[in-house]
A and B are shown apart, each in its own frame.
Chain A
Amino acid sequence: MRAILAADVNIAQNVGFYIVAAIMVFGALRVVSGRNVVHAALWLVVVLGGVAAQYVLAAAEFVAISQVMVYIGAVMVLFLFGIMLTRATIGEESDLNNKNWSIGIPVSLLLAGTLVWVIVDQYRGEVLSSPDEPMSTTAISDVFLREGLVPFLALSFVLLAAAVGAIVLARKD
């Protein structure tokens, strides 16, 4: 552990982080606790946009753009279509939770406590040095097309199989 220099602490980055993090946690709580499925999906958009903002703060611009395109652009449209096609009623529903949903509260609190304890124990005081420039797309694509070429091709087959499988499953026959 080394001393924290004033140059290491970027005030704007920290303020932005805490604001976005607060919005994300609030939105995530609304996703899992709301009574309206469509509102939950729209709060999920807020959380996913917050994740993209955190990527920008962490100098990961390419991943942030991918996050916006894939999650907010494609996955959320899928979710809204799924909601539209699977339920007829619009508005609040009272039976969105399991009967014994309250078991989830101690489980998740215990999980969060354990994770936070381990993280603080391991990484307390470690400062992320802000890089001078964001991670370049060139560096990412070098990894993709050199060491990661076989997983990359396998991933494209996974996507193809998922698309074909989704059509086969959802088709009326």
Chain B
Amino acid sequence: MYAVNFLILAAVLFSIGVFGVIARRNAVMVLMSIELILNSVNINLIAFAMMNNSPEGHVFALYVIAVAAAEVGVGLAMVLMIYRNRRSIALDELSVMRG
């Protein structure tokens, strides 16, 4: 098993996630693309942990999973609040920073 396999898979997933963040207009879809990015980072961490045969990479991956769960919770709460105030979650309409 080459190390390059995991790293290139993670790079491809990262790029797809970046495309989603740039291209999507719906806020929930942007959050999904961010999940893709975070998962590609986790694949990298696990691959490096396997390369060094050490548990530290696993610990970092678990931290990332926990922070991602917190981020999704707060992010979706914000999306819900924006939807309640404006009846829309299209990101290009959110140009005014006023409630």
Contacts and interface: CB of A to CB of B under 8 A. Distances in A.
Interface in A77-111: 78-79, 81-83, 85-87, 93, 95-99, 101-105, 107-109, 111
- What is the size category of the interface that chain A forms with chain B? 35 or more
B24 A97 contact: yes
B99 interface: no
A98 B95 CA distance: 14
Nearest to A51: B39
A63 B73 contact: no
Interface residues of B, number: 70
A32 B90 contact: no
Given A10-B1, A25-B13, A115-B14, A31 B20 contact: yes
A55 B47 CA distance: 9
Interface string A69-82: 01100110011011
Interface in A157-173: 158-159, 161-163, 165-167, 169-170, 172
A78 to B, nearest CB: 6
Contact of B46 (A63, A101, A120): A63
Interface of B: 1-9, 11-20, 22-29, 31-33, 35-36, 39, 42-43, 46-47, 49-51, 53, 55-56, 58-59, 61-63, 65-74, 76-81, 83-84, 89-92
24 contacts: A13-B1, A25-B12, A37-B29, A48-B35, A48-B39, A54-B46, A63-B61, A66-B62, A71-B35, A71-B65, A82-B28, A86-B83, A97-B24, A102-B23, A108-B15, A108-B22, A116-B8, A116-B11, A126-B51, A128-B47, A161-B70, A166-B73, A169-B74, A172-B84
